[in-house]
């Protein structure tokens, strides 16, 4: 990067209309960055732009469907025309579909892959020519802990997140000769964002996020740190380290425990109808940063993180005793 400061940097953020994307936009606005904000929801984007401008930043909205390579190319061109260059590109837009694989319509599973995986591919392909021409640039891929541990009943989502790991590694290999172009992966823990409210749900049960839940603003702070000190991969929150280690050491056992916990929850949860959520088309609700779940006691205090880890160990012991 040209310098370690953030003020004045041109930052493109996809999925900026809510959740972590909106938190990232606000964090950069507070540091005086120039922002190009992208998402499908124009009204929500305009709201985020107004918030960023109120904080003293310069920001524009470019409605973009990241599933379409042509729209991502137009996003990069809009940023170039507006500011002359791009310093940071944050691939963040993502969607979720829950349910047994055969219960989820094929077009929904396909849209998850197109958004979460191909959306990042299209974003990188759009901005890398600018980075190479400039000789510098930072690409941030917000992947999630779902790229480290498989989650039953979210198969397409996990496929997209696991795929992103390979995508980033391959891309770093391609960019070996460009010492000032960085590809940085983020692996946040479960976030208290509107993501669950937005999710496609074919489980027949009301979805709740898995504890412990972290503030999306922690993701934003992690992105700011990457601008100052780029690194290949970073985690957000302590719990992902436990999950990563558990799956690396005992993959089969970890899968059985996760499937058991989710299956038990789905059997006991309140019933609801199937919905495609925001996977196929945008929805009008859920435009804030927070999902409101931490107020129900799911905030990740050290004691609770220890408790959740202990519960996983206890579940492992129970599973092992069955074999």
What are the CB-based long-range contacts (under 8 Å, 24+) for 250-254? Answer: 250/316, 253/316, 253/319, 253/320, 254/149
Backbone phi and psi for residue 238, each to the nearest 5 degrees, phi listed first? -85, -30
d(CA 9, CA 12): 10
Catalytic site includes residue 157 = yes
Maximum Cα–Cα distance across the chain: 63
Give the Å distances, CA to CA, from 80 to 87, 225, 310.
10, 24, 50
Q: Checking DSSP bridges between strand 88-91 and strand 97-98, what pairing results, if any?
A: unpaired
Helix or strand holding residue 79 (H, E): helix 69-83
Burial 237-252 (b: 16+ CB within 10 A, else e): bebbebbbebbeeeee
CB 234 within 8 A of CB 222: yes
d(CA 11, CA 317): 47
- Which is catalytic among the residues 120, 136, 153, 157? 157
Active site residues: 157
């Amino acid at each position: 990067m040209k310098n370690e400061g953030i003020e004045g940097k041109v930052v493109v953020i996809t999925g900026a209309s809510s959740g972590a994307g909106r938190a990232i936009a606000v964090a950069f606005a507070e540091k005086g960055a120039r922002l190009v904000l992208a998402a499908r929801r124009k009204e929500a984007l305009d709201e985020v732009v107004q918030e960023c401008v109120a904080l003293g930043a310069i920001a524009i909205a470019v409605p973009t469907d990241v599933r379409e390579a042509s729209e991502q190319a137009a996003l990069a061109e809009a940023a170039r025309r507006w500011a002359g260059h791009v310093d940071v590109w944050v691939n963040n837009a993502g969607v979720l579909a829950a349910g047994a694989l055969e219960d989820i319509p094929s077009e929904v599973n396909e849209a998850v892959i197109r958004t979460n995986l191909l959306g990042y591919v299209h974003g990188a392909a759009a901005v890398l020519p600018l980075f190479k021409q400039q000789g510098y640039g930072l690409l941030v891929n917000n992947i999630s802990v779902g790229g480290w541990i498989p989650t039953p009943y979210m198969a397409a989502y996990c496929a997209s997140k696991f795929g992103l790991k390979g995508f980033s590694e391959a891309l770093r290999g391609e960019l070996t000769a460009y010492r000032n172009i960085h590809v940085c992966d983020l692996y946040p823990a479960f976030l208290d964002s509107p993501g669950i409210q937005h999710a496609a749900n074919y489980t027949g049960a009301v979805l709740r996020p898995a504890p412990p839940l972290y503030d999306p603003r922690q993701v934003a702070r992690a992105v700011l740190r990457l601008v100052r000190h780029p690194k290949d991969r970073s985690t957000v929150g302590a719990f992902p380290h436990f999950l990563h280690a558990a799956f690396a050491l005992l993959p089969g056992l970890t899968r059985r425990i996760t499937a058991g916990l989710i299956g038990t929850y789905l059997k006991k949860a309140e019933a609801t109808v199937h919905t495609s959520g925001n996977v196929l088309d945008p929805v009008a609700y859920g435009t804030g940063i927070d999902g409101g779940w931490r107020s129900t006691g799911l905030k990740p205090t050290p004691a609770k993180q220890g408790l959740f880890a202990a519960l996983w160990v206890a579940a492992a012991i129970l599973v092992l005793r069955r074999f």
